[in-house]
Amino acid sequence: MGNFYGTLSLPCNDPETASLRSFVAVLAVDDALRAVMGDGPKLALKWPNDVLLNGGKVAGILLESLVVKGQMWGVAVGIGVNLIAAPDMTQVEDGAVYPVSVKVESGVDVTPDGFLKHLAPAFAQWDRQLTTYGFAPIRTAWLARAARLGETITARLPNENVTGRFDTVDENGYLVLNTAKGPRNIAAADVFF
């Protein structure tokens, strides 16, 4: 038994559509965790691609464009879930959410294969929603599970930190912060609470 690590390659030639797959993946991971652990432990989604369990990071999603001869043909969706063990705090960036594991937080033992049996159908369902109805139902479901919605958070960009109230996620999946200078839509950043 160990932690879950998996990568799914999907055809996609549009970077904006590809980026929305992180929301699909994180909803699927959340559903799979709920199926494995039941209703006891508290789960929440951290923008754009982390799952929190009892306040700590239990899972993360990483997207990578698949490009051949300068043309994007797909996206690789990488998923990591701390089923049994979590990284030590010394391996985590200062200010980041502390890592946790399913076993320690819930007492549930699940194998990577056992977790995949819940994850695969959940991903297929959310991905069908995205391809059939667009981002709107994904966005609604994600916001219903969002961590720190309505609270002040900080988005760390390459050249600045932006602090504001987390108001929503827009129709492109961008984080919307209400800052002292007004609303700010952020396409990509590291978020700190």
| pLDDT of 110 above 80 | yes
Q: Quote the CA–CA distance of 153 and 62 in Å, as a whole number.
A: 21
Q: What is the DSSP string of 95-150?
A: TSPPB--HHHHH-----HHHHHHHHHHHHHHHHHHHHHH-SHHHHHHHHHTBTTTT
Say how far apart CA 90 and CA 1 lie, in whole Å: 24
Q: What percent of the chain lies above the pLDDT cut of 70?
A: 99
- For the stretch 151-186, pLDDT in tens is 999 999 999 999 999 999 999 999 999 999 999 999
Average pLDDT for 54-60: 96
* Residue 136 reports pLDDT greater than 90: yes
Average pLDDT along the chain: 94
pLDDT for residue 67:
93
Q: What is the pLDDT of residue 1?
A: 59
Which pLDDT tens digit goes with each residue over 77-92?
Answer: 999 999 999 988 777 7
Burial of 30: CB neighbours in 10 Å, binned 0-12, 13-18, 19+: buried
Closest listed residue to residue 178, CA positions, set 158, 156, 157, 149: 149
| Residue 93: per-residue pLDDT | 77
Domains recognised in the chain with CATH numbers: 4-144 (3.30.930.10), 152-192 (2.30.30)
Separation of alpha carbons 3 and 111, rounded Å = 8
Mean pLDDT of 7-25: 93
- Can you give the pTM of this predicted structure? 0.94
